[in-house]
Amino acid sequence: IKEVCKGNKIILLISYSLSDIDECAIVSDACKGGMKCINHYGGYLCLPQNRTDPIPQTPLNPLNPTNPQTPQTRTQSNHRGVAAGAKQCLLGFTLDEQNYCHDVDECSQSLHTCNADQICYNTRGSYTCQCNPGYQKHGEQCVDRNECMLSHYCMHRCVNTAGSYYCECKDGYQLASNNHSCVDVNECDQTQPCQHQCFNLLGSYVCQCDQGYELAPDSVSCPHDELLKYFITTINKDDQPKAKYSVCPSGLLFSGIIDINECDTGHECREDEMCWNYYGGHRCYPQNPCLEPYVLTSENRCSCQSAGACRGLSQSIVYKYMSIHSERSVPADIFQIQATNIFPSAHYTFRIRAGNDGGEFFLRVGNQTFHFCISQTGKGPQELIVDLEMITQHTVMNYRSSSLLRLTIIVGPYPF
């Protein structure tokens, strides 16, 4: 503490050190106005020439003003308005009845200057003003902190609110229990949106009609009975009710015009094979279609477990089977794939990687959707195998991966 001497006022200059310095000896003209310089431990005094007040010699311990071994006995300066010789604590401390200094809790005693939207935290000898959670200081004011701009707290979408935020998921996903991650919604189990068959996809689903029906433009219903139309137009050409006496093609049973499901009634597939029924016949496929270096991780899904062995290959291959009737009207959508962004920096694209040498298929791109379409069909029975590749690119992490959907399409022998 240092004050400039003016007139006849007593000025206290205190210097904290481990050993006393005689300022009167080393400071030239330490006291002005003809005042006398008197050194003492930790500082010196400027007194009138005719004053002989005793000099306090009790050593001060500035590092620990509350130390019971070192009561505060330094003389107060005149700017406090206290007479010389009175005991004084450092700013932010107060004397107790035993003349020891204790910290003043400015927060509990309302001695702080924090704003109403701030929280006061007491510190040793002082206090600090901090903003409420979700806010940050801008000058002396607290403003909302936009968590959505500061970091990627959410997997899909982040919505900022006053003092907080919340996460939202894209269509086809729902918020996980941690309120940050998004998990796929199995629409087939929860809402059963399809009239006939439903296949769940990552972030979406696809509907497929039973044999003899075509998917309507709404992509969920199957209103057209092509099987019944076939019998009406080919067997009953004379508009006479003779269909019940007609002989059905092989693989069909004319009992309400239905298909014989050989997979249920009897087939020649081995135990390690699965039976796939279609209108007018059936086929046998391996239950485990995975080849090295892929391993079966779930039904019809093969995943690559070794990064080294799978370098340059797709991360996974999913096997799917479907049937269409012979000489189907084209062009027609086979199914729809919903493109999703699991991470904001990820970009997804689809392409036909193999099995389209004859140009039978094409992809039609919509709003965040990809429609797999057929452009030409020949007469059945025949089998078409096409690979659809989904490529994932992370622009921030410089990461690229791919996965395959290996689709086996069986063209039935009849136009239904």
User: Which string of DSSP letters, residue by residue, matches 351-384?
Assistant: EEEES-TT--EEEEE-SSEEEEEE-----SSEEE
Question: What is the per-residue pLDDT for 407?
Answer: 93
Examine residue 67 and state whether it is found in any structural domain, yes or no. yes
284, 390: one domain: yes
Question: What is the per-residue pLDDT for 16?
Answer: 42
Question: What is the per-residue pLDDT for 274?
Answer: 92
175, 313: one domain: no
**pLDDT single digits (tens) 342-373:** 566 667 778 899 998 888 888 877 656 778 88
Domain span holding position 385: 232-411
Examine residue 363 and state whether it is found in any structural domain, yes or no. yes
Tokens 């965040």 belong to 368
CB atoms within 10 A of CB 242: 11
Examine residue 203 and state whether it is found in any structural domain, yes or no. no
Examine residue 205 and state whether it is found in any structural domain, yes or no. no
CB atoms within 10 A of CB 254: 15
**Do 15 and 23 meet the contact criterion of CB atoms below 8 Å apart?**
yes
pLDDT tens, per residue, the chain with 416 residues? 444 444 444 444 444 444 667 878 777 777 876 778 888 766 777 877 665 444 444 344 444 444 443 334 333 333 333 334 457 888 889 988 888 899 999 999 988 989 888 999 999 999 999 999 889 888 888 999 888 887 667 888 889 998 889 999 988 888 988 888 888 888 888 888 888 888 887 777 878 887 667 778 788 888 755 545 544 444 444 444 333 334 556 565 554 457 788 898 888 899 999 999 988 888 999 999 999 899 999 888 999 888 788 888 888 999 999 888 887 777 778 877 766 655 666 677 788 999 988 888 888 776 567 788 888 777 778 899 999 988 877 766 677 788 899 999 998 888 76
**Domain end (from 157, 184, 211):** 184
Question: What is the per-residue pLDDT for 120?
Answer: 93
Give the three-state DSSP class for 25. helix
Question: Which residue, among 11, 30, 32, has the nearest Cα to 77 in the 3D structure?
Answer: 11
400, 313: one domain: yes
Question: What is the per-residue pLDDT for 67?
Answer: 43
Give the three-state DSSP class for 178. coil
Examine residue 115 and state whether it is found in any structural domain, yes or no. no
Which residues are paired to 199 by β-bridges? Answer: 206
269, 379: one domain: yes
Examine residue 405 and state whether it is found in any structural domain, yes or no. yes
79, 172: one domain: no
Exposure of 227 in the CB half-sphere (CA atoms within 13 A)? 22
For residues 320 and 405, what is the distance between their CA atoms, to the nearest angstrom? Answer: 7
| CATH number for the domain that contains residue 270 | 2.60.40.60
Q: Which helix (H) or strand (E) holds 188?
A: helix 187-190
330, 393: one domain: yes
Task: Read off the amino acid at residue 205.
Answer: Y
151, 97: one domain: no
**pLDDT single digits (tens) 164-180:** 899 999 888 889 888 88
What is the DSSP track for 119-155? Answer: EEEEETTEEEEEEPTTEEEETTEEEE--HHHHS--SS
Give the three-state DSSP class for 345. coil
380, 279: one domain: yes
| CATH number for the domain that contains residue 163 | 2.10.25.10
Examine residue 62 and state whether it is found in any structural domain, yes or no. yes
**Domain end (from 103, 127, 159):** 103
- Residue 402 DSSP label: E
Give the three-state DSSP class for 247. coil
263, 167: one domain: no
Question: What is the per-residue pLDDT for 137?
Answer: 87
Question: What is the per-residue pLDDT for 288?
Answer: 93
Question: What is the per-residue pLDDT for 138?
Answer: 85
Dihedral angle computed from the Cα positions of residues 267, 268, 269 and 271, in that order, rounded to the nearest 10 degrees: 100
The count of domains in the chain is 3
Examine residue 201 and state whether it is found in any structural domain, yes or no. no
For residues 68 and 101, what is the distance between their CA atoms, to the nearest angstrom? Answer: 9
**Domain end (from 70, 103, 136):** 103
244, 383: one domain: yes
For residues 365 and 353, what is the distance between their CA atoms, to the nearest angstrom? Answer: 16
99, 152: one domain: no
30, 158: one domain: no
Tokens 């005689």 belong to 22
